Amino acid sequence: MFQVRQTWISVAFFLIVPALRPLAAQPGSESWKDQGIVDVTRSPHAKLHTIPIRAITIDQGFWAERRKTNLEKSIPTMREVLIANGRMENFRRLSGKSKAAQNGPVYGDAHVYKWLEAASFALQSGDVPELHKATEEIISDVVAVQEPGGYLNTYYVEDRASQRMLPAVQSTGHELYNIGHLLQAGIAYYRATGDRKMLDAATRFFDDFIIKSYGPEPDKKPLVSGHPGTELALIELYRMTGRKQYLDLAGYLLRGDSERMPFPQSRYVYMFCGIPFTSRTQLEGHAVRAMYAASGATDYYLETGDPAYWKTLETLWNDLTKSKMYVTGGVGSRGSGEAFGDPYELPNSRAYGESCAAIGNMMWNWRLLLSTGDARFTDIVERVLYNGLNSGMSLSGTTYCYRNPLEYAPESGPIRNSWYTTNCCPSNIQRIFSALPGYIYGTSGDGVYVHLYQNSQLDWRLENGVGLKLSQHTNYPWDGTVDITVTPALASEFTVYVRIPAWSTTTKVAVNGQAMSGVKSGTYLPIRRRWAAGDKLRIQLDMAPKVLTANPQLADDSGRVAIQRGPLVYCLEQLDQNGVTSLSDVAVVLGRNPGSEFRPELRRDLLGGIVLLRHEGVVTQKKLSEEPLYQLFEPVSQRITRPADLTFIPYYVWANREPSAMQLWVRYIQR
Ligand SMILES: [Zn+2]
């Protein structure tokens, strides 16, 4: 009851406030070419602004390789797989071009739309005629089936048309989820080409079908997202058009309409929508839904500055980072309901860690970063990107993880597949890799932010209009030295904000050879000075391997450690461990100064080129599986063992050779 009353108070609040101060009545960046991944140019509560993908060129190095695979292998092969699995026939049948029966789940249209978004982001880095043509063909087939009333969906048609938008179908049928993805794809394609046809189709769905008939007004029908994701798309549409009805609709979805649309409490937990977002106190339920809802709520905060939203976002972020996130940045530990678990419920072999949930976590933290400029959010963006998301695509670029466990036995079946009936993850990973240049830098009123380290060329401008080029050279994440040449079009005073990752405990920063003071882990170092063409910035990050321990309440990691070097978390694969028949029998031997005894080894020939880590370990003589379930206590170190030289590889490259057991959290003994 209290929640319902609170809803009406906040409705009243929003009816009054827009009259008192100007909302962003004007659309964002003037040109489609100038719009970033999200365009917060005119968002009143954005501290940082994005830079269009096309302004950053990733030329070589770590992400250049991954992005080349994404563009040349992943995106083209996924198109073929989508077609082979009937996802396009669903559209073509409705235009009379195919006689195939409807095929696939209620969210099958979104599989196509996510691919379109991945392709569109790729085209923002420069035209690829063959991909452009393939994208045009698919867009034509999609928009051809839009009905005169704006409806566009290939599942709720014909015999199922009478079920459209029924309350129960809103909760499970993914109609808004699908169209939210079409809208995101339409925006990305517009920003790639200036072509509006996909954007217009998605907009028509909202204008002609939704907003006319659904909403909080008494003469309209109530609405629930069912699967959040539409909110963030609608707010991006508001940013592009300045039309407040889209922001209002997103706000309505974030508040829910539980009085007119009552669901059992368990359904509100699972859906992470339907009741006021600001009434949430913990992350629970379906992890992807929760992360997309939090992303949309942060977008809503960026536009409105509503303090109740910020308070909830902080509460949820603390819940995430204190007790519900894997060291890989993966989230959603429970297979059942693809859900968040209880605090510290982070099992390793049973970890769900859906690739989409990791992506949602990255998207959410990216938006929190735009709100604040706070490096704690960039640390999570980077942790997810290099680990729990990066693991989701094979090095070949043609197979994908849906789950991303932290421990694995081959007997549990193949972990990477080229296709899933619920094929949400593959193109979701592809769209992030396609959009990656747009995550590297940002601007603020007083300068430029360096968020991520990667060989790249920035050709953009400061917010005062002065042209700015940044040329970044590095072998990151294998090496910690980053050289950036700063070239403003006019020598002028501004601030370069250099991110010092939280994991880098000793970092040196120098400008033209002169050491900077005030360097602090987990912050942006502001370097304000008169910058002139050719100024040299050198950042030396701490690449010493780190040994991590988990909170003792996290029972699954008790007696175990994880290894991290730079942004990369490491793991053991059994096939690299000579003479080891079970990883369960292995322990790493830690000396007085854990971490100091790792031997990094650059291996260009292995797994696409990696730095592996060797370290002293032991194997128990008697297999642990032969020990009884319970026995009299004796210190672990008194087990009879023999030495073993352990080889750790970055987690993201696991499961790229023959099936082999894997372990991220490894038992340890102390010398
Ligand atoms: Zn997924």
**Is the per-residue pLDDT at 6 higher than 50?**
no
Mean pLDDT of 633-652: 88
CA 258 – CA 247 distance, rounded (Å): 20
Ranges of H-type helices in 324-472:
355-372, 375-383, 424-435
Residue 386 Cα to ligand 1 middle (Å): 17
Beta bridge partners of 497: 449, 526
- Nearest to 143, CA basis, from 128, 133, 155, 153: 153
Residue 402 Cα to ligand 1 middle (Å): 6
Residue 28 Cα to ligand 1 middle (Å): 31
pLDDT value of position 637: 63
- Nearest to 199, CA basis, from 40, 83, 32: 32
Residue written as tokens 């459209």?
Answer: 164
CA 240 – CA 403 distance, rounded (Å): 35
Residue 442 Cα to ligand 1 middle (Å): 28
Tokens of 130: 């063959």
Model confidence band, residue 13 (pLDDT cutoffs 50, 70, 90): very low
Strands (E), 558-621: 560-565, 568-573, 586-590, 599-603, 610-620
Residue 403 Cα to ligand 1 middle (Å): 8
At 150 the three-state DSSP class reads coil
Residue 348 Cα to ligand 1 middle (Å): 19
Full DSSP string of 275-329: S-GGG--S--SBHHHHHHHHHHHHHHHHHH--HHHHHHHHHHHHHHHHHTB-TTS
Helix (H) and strand (E) counts in the chain: 17, 23
Please enumerate in sequence order all residues whose Cβ is within 8 A of that of 211, keeping only pairs 6 or more positions apart, or say none.
245, 249
Burial 259-282 (b: 16+ CB within 10 A, else e): eeeebeeebbbbbbbbbbbbbbeb
Residue written as tokens 């079409």?
Answer: 182
Residue 357 Cα to ligand 1 middle (Å): 7
Residue 361 Cα to ligand 1 middle (Å): 13
CA 662 – CA 476 distance, rounded (Å): 25
Residue 367 Cα to ligand 1 middle (Å): 20
Instruction: Tell me the pLDDT tens digit for each residue of 309-357.
Output: 999 999 999 999 999 999 999 999 999 999 999 999 999 999 999 999 9
Instruction: Tell me the pLDDT tens digit for each residue of 360-402.
Output: 999 999 999 999 999 999 999 999 999 999 999 999 999 999 9
Residue 428 Cα to ligand 1 middle (Å): 7
Cβ 664 vs Cβ 569: under 8 Å: yes
pLDDT value of position 29: 75
Residue 290 Cα to ligand 1 middle (Å): 13
**Is the per-residue pLDDT at 18 higher than 50?**
no
Residue 329 Cα to ligand 1 middle (Å): 15
CA 44 – CA 478 distance, rounded (Å): 39
Strand order of the sheet with strand 508-511? 56-57, 456-461, 467-474, 481-488, 535-540, 508-511, 514-515
Residue 16 Cα to ligand 1 middle (Å): 40
Residue 631 Cα to ligand 1 middle (Å): 43
Residue 353 Cα to ligand 1 middle (Å): 10
